[in-house]
Amino acid sequence: LQLVESGGGLVESGGSLRLSCAVSGGASDRSWAIGWFRQAPGKEREGVACISDSSHASNYADSVKGRFTISRDNSKNEVYLQMNSLKPEDTGVYYCAAVDEDSGAVWYLMYGYDYWGQGTQVTVTS
pLDDT higher than threshold 80 for residue 109 = yes
Q: Across the chain, what does the average pLDDT equal?
A: 94
- Express each pLDDT in 44-81 by its tens digit: 999 999 999 988 999 999 999 999 999 999 999 999 99
pLDDT reported for residue 27: 67
Between CA 24 and CA 90 the distance in angstroms is 27
What is the separation, in whole angstroms, between the first and last Cα of the chain?
A: 37
Average of pLDDT values for 100-118?
Answer: 90
pLDDT reported for residue 30: 82
- Express each pLDDT in 7-25 by its tens digit: 999 999 999 999 999 999 9
